[in-house]
A and B are shown apart, each in its own frame.
Chain A
Amino acid sequence: MGKLYNFKRSLWVFHASGGSCNGCDIEIIAALTPRYDAERFGIKLVGSPRHADVLLVTGAIPRDFADKLRRIYEQMPDPKAVVVVGNCGTTGGVFYDSYNLVGPIDEIIPVDVYVPGCPPRPEAIIDGVVKAWLKIEKLEKQLEGKE
């Protein structure tokens, strides 16, 4: 794993649940609570995609949610990264033949990091966010280079 050196602020995360079973969502919240305490690294869950650097998506994305998810993604400022949490967002998982699901998520928005597991442990989710962090640093460098 590379070093985190360039990022000038703490990392803010927005969480969107698109038809997941809640298992991953609960583990995301658990990652913020004292046992795992992601906030000590400055990783914070925020209430609006406009404030967020990283988008956490769970679930296999029901029919009407696809459009909503695209809009959330577009609202986020650059540089940004998307982390898919859980099996069903990654491949469809156990919900592979539903009439109302249009996932997996990478067919709707570009995805940078996959965190497999049903559900993944909070450590794995934090690890996924850190990987996205590295990616954002790289993107930010590129953006700075352009200016």
Chain B
Amino acid sequence: MGKTQYYIPVGPIHPALKEPIRVEVEVEGEKIVKVDVKRGFAHRGIEYMGMKRNAIQSLYLAERICGICSISHPYAFVLGSEKALGIEAPPRAQYIRPIIAELERIHSHILWLGVIAHEMGFDSLLFWTWKGREKVLDLLELLTGNRINYSVFMIGGVRRDIKESQIKAIKDTIDFYRTFTEEMKNVFLSDPIYKARSRGVAQLSKEMALKLNVCGPVARAAGLRMDIRQDNPYDAYADIGVKAIVPQDIVGEAKGDAYDITLVRLYEIEQSLDIIEFCVENMPEGKIMAIPNYVVLLSRIKKKAGESIGMHEAPRGEVVHYLKYDGTRDGPAVWKVVAPSYNNINTWGSLLLGAEVADIPIVVAYIDPCLCCNDRIAVVKNRDGRVIDYSLIHKKAIEKTMRVKRELGVRE
């Protein structure tokens, strides 16, 4: 008695999430008492299509699983294919690949920092971070020919070489991001309002992280030292000896909340810069493709049977591709894709319970959900219920930020 429960569907379409997903929550006052996540608004059946096409076509399909991780899926796909088919990429290609992959990590992490700032109501911060992000997109365009969807990886190598003139551009970009990351660290980590809005929000313990099978920055923020580049290294990462970035190494303890994940992502940008620098300085000479002719490559694939797991650490966590070639056709006979958000969305249910309505945007955004990766099919069902649209929740999030600001006595 006296308790009124409201039902709030969030999504599937609203401007802040950019992608369709539906989170249904029931609230009592401001507290969330029941959560239901409905996925599958972007499922395209990519694995099904890939099992009918040849390996190079499937590689292009893998690239279009997600436009933000548009190098991570091809990376896992080519690694898996190379392991299954016994092809080894030339040393120079093994150094070019991590450069592209790390540039993608930089742009993806900056994108997330902008989104989380927007969710808290700091829109000028969103525009400032995204302005900085354009620089890395420029470099990617210079190296690969496109801002997004680079089409640069191939089974047994890469399709484009890095020239001497481009190396200068890479070095300039690294210098720019050294300063820019320092500035971002200042803005995000020392701002009292940001800290108040993110400390303790979306807190995930180490044990829960294990049980919910999460990966990537979400797991690392909870203190799990897992990173495919460290656990099962490949390409130039094997030479570098990458270490997973966990909050306990930086500030002494891991709380696994939205603040820690910001910390992890910011330090990972610096780590990426180090990796790119190493690769540029130590890049071996030589060819870039093991089998430069695609017809020869496809006929070799057709003759060979094998299966393997291809893994790559994408910006959001591990991308796993299981591939089986059966020796009868030139494409994968079985293809299974597991993207990081597939596992990381598991956290929403438990993290939203007991949280405030104003924290929904932060909890939802903190894993950096990438639903294109996750879903690959779509469903929208209409349900009755009192509809409070997302813009209102976003407004509440901003109001809370303002309230925190007043309570902390921060002047504009």
Residues on A lying within 8 angstroms of B by beta carbon are 15-27, 29-30, 33-35, 45-48, 59-60, 62-65, 67-68, 72, 88, 93-95, 97-101, 118-119, 121
Contacts and interface: CB of A to CB of B under 8 A. Distances in A.
Contacts of B45: 98-101
Contacts of A72: 13
18 contacts: A17-B42, A18-B20, A18-B42, A18-B378, A21-B372, A22-B66, A22-B372, A23-B70, A24-B67, A26-B111, A33-B127, A33-B131, A34-B127, A35-B134, A62-B42, A63-B378, A88-B64, A98-B44
Contacts of A68: 12-13, 380
Interface string B24-57: 0000000000000000011111101100100000
Contacts of A25: 18-19, 67
B149 A62 contact: no
Contacts of B15: 15, 45-47
A146 to B, nearest CB: 32
B259 interface: no
Contact of A60 (B20, B44, B134): B44
B42 A19 contact: yes
B176 to A, nearest CB: 14
A21 B380 contact: no
Contacts of B14: 47
A15 B20 CA distance: 11
Q: What 4 A-B pairs are tightest by C-beta distance, nearest first?
A: A23-B67, A62-B378, A33-B130, A22-B67
B48 A99 contact: yes
Among B111, B149, B375, residue most surrounded by chain A Cβ atoms (within 10 Å): B149
Contacts of B128: 34
B224 interface: no
Contacts of B127: 33-34
Contacts of B378: 18-19, 62-65, 100
Given A15-B18, A30-B130, 16 more contacts: A15-B15, A16-B13, A21-B70, A22-B18, A22-B19, A23-B70, A27-B148, A33-B130, A34-B127, A47-B14, A60-B44, A62-B42, A62-B379, A63-B378, A98-B46, A99-B45
Contacts of A88: 64
Contacts of A23: 64, 66-68, 70, 148-149
B342 interface: no
A76 to B, nearest CB: 13
B410 interface: no
Nearest to A62: B378
B49 A95 contact: yes
B129 to A, nearest CB: 9
B196 interface: no
Chain B contact patch, size range: 35 or more
B18 A95 contact: no
B335 interface: no
A45 B13 CA distance: 13
Contacts of A46: 15
A131 B293 CA distance: 42
B194 interface: no
A93 B46 CA distance: 13
B65 A21 contact: yes
Interface string B56-73: 000011001111101000
Contact of A98 (B49, B68, B389, B390): B49
Contact of A19 (B44, B67, B133): B44
A65 B130 CA distance: 30
Contacts of B64: 21, 23, 88, 93-95, 118
Contacts of B70: 21, 23
Contact of A34 (B111, B131, B375): B131
A26 B148 contact: yes
B337 interface: no
B67 A119 contact: yes
Nearest to A14: B15
A58 B379 CA distance: 16
Among B43, B46, B389, residue most surrounded by chain A Cβ atoms (within 10 Å): B43
B24 to A, nearest CB: 16
Contacts of B68: 22-23, 26
B336 to A, nearest CB: 17
B42 A33 contact: no
B168 interface: no
Contacts of A35: 130-131, 134
B178 interface: no
A46 B389 CA distance: 13
B147 A29 contact: no
B386 interface: no
Contact of B52 (A21, A67, A95, A97): A97
Contacts of A17: 13, 18-20, 42
